Structure 1
Amino acid sequence: MLAAMGEFDLIARYFTRPTPRAVLGVGDDCALLQPAPGTQLAISSDMLVEGRHFFASADPFALGHKALAVNLSDLAACGATPLAFTLALALPDVNETWLQGFSQGLLALADAHGCELVGGDTTQGPLNICITVFGEVPVVNGKSQALLRSGARPGDDVYVSGTLGDARLALDALRGTLVLPADLLAQARVRLEQPTPRVALGQALRGVASAALDLSDGLLGDLGHILKASGVGATLDTSIAMQLIAACAYPACATGLISLKKQLECVLAGGDDYELAFTAPPAARQAVLAAARLAETPVTRIGRIDAEPGLRLVDAQGQRLSGHYSSFDHFA
């Protein structure tokens, strides 16, 4: 630990690098970005607070990855191409080992998506990470190609990408409320601490999906945002949704180590999945599958959009299921 390192030395050593896509990057009071002709800027911010969003013992490389991944996931939900980001970082002290790991994880993911660090701020305080990310969305014939929450229509199919519930399994195991075999915990923990933002899928769904968002607080709660914004309801087939729990968890589910109730809770309301939920008309089913293949990301059709408000859960026979599944709420 080198407490003598100052704020600007810290920035220069760990977070300053060339920014060829930005007009002006780190070093001035503002960064300068020039969107490509025929595009709009897509902007999103997310904050990670120690003890609330991650454990104090979190691996710094994984934490750096996740800090940017959750923001890139927002761009993915909008169908945007990553452009740049800023980082505001509060640190209790200057720990060079931690900073080295954190910056490597952060910038490795940034490089993978061509997203440049162009500015931010550092201060002393409880560990807090806030990132604002900028992306580009095409405008075609005067119309934005951004994916929004407000476009779902009755009759549309409901899809999700990837698998759900892995992160919640890991979180419960780390909290000590669930016992998992070491190999399963290791696999689930990767999904909790190093989620994969579905950027390529979001871009491939432009012009195909009618509405989209990323799953950060749980499937039911997040899907509810699409329903509210679109003025519609939905029916979800839980027998299909349950198949989305990670393949690595199947043995534990089959042996009863993970109860059916816990499986439903993890898949429907687990949170921290950072997959995409989206809707599309039935006529676009082949286009959806083509987008999934292009993005090399599996998608599953789990329900339909209804004109009747509300969110209904049914089993394989179409019978309504009872039960309440609460998604994450910071102030609940």
Structure 2
Amino acid sequence: MFIVDDDLDLDLPAEYGVDDFPLILQDKRFAPDGSFDGDPLKGTFGIMGDHILVNGTYNPHLSVTTERVRFRVLNGSNARMYNLTFADKRRFHVIANDGGLLGAPVEVEEFSLTPGERAEIIVAFAPGEQVVLRTADNGVDIGQGDFDLLKLIAAKNLKPTPDVPARLASLTPKTAPAGAKVRRFRLSGHDAINGKEMDMARIDEVVPAGAIEIWEIENNVYSHNFHIHEVAFQMLEVDGSAPPAYATGYKDTVYVPAKSLVRLAVQFGGFTDPDSPYMYHCHILRHEDSGMMGQFVIVKPGTESQVNLTIPTHAGH
């Protein structure tokens, strides 16, 4: 996990290891001798572990010393979705996701993260209480099972902390202009996008620098998610409905439910290089490593037709 700081003064919990903690979630399987078990490239999704590690620790606990705590959560699993909630069903605030702070906090009882997605939450505690952060079975094929993740034990005396700010970052909506380019990406099986497996010597898409485009991710089978390098996007629709409020803001990874269509407004940067591609791919390890990836380059507007779509040599990513 990389934590990127900024100079916004919002009175958010920010003392690392005191009221500001990273939570890296990974599910694992273990052999009888304690070594990791399972093949991440077998089965529909690869390994679906029966032990959940938080920051590499099984069955952890945390002593809480402040009235509010900020958790920066990363789904570091190869396939599992986490549907995060507390055992007592307390409400808490989502304040950020993949691309940073939201415009305003969103109060929730639960929220979901697929592999590669990130979120930040602020949770309030009462003196002396104990509660468990857990993931609840939501019936999704990559999120089945109920697991306790982290036991939180509040001290008898808690240091006061400010309320969650009503406003966070100033976000400019990613609004595609009239006539914006629409690209559709069909996910089928576990090894192809638009019917093609990843080819390191092939450029699949050419994008003009600074463009805002509409990308439609069509999933014809079981669960996938979709990650785009270099960009920031905003979710527009999930099967014709608005995305959950906590998934607003700037993102780079999105859950694409089985048999669904997700629409995104994608903004590309200004750096151009017709020879060095970026990737887009499913972030489930079994799928991306089996070929569910593509490549795009960003070029000077008006030069799209001049790009060589075959790369003779590849420097790698």
TM-score by length of 2: 0.27
**Larger helix fraction of residues:** 1
Does 1 or 2 have the higher relative contact order (CA < 8 Å, sep 6+)?
1
Q: Which has the higher strand share?
A: 2
TM-score (norm 1): 0.27
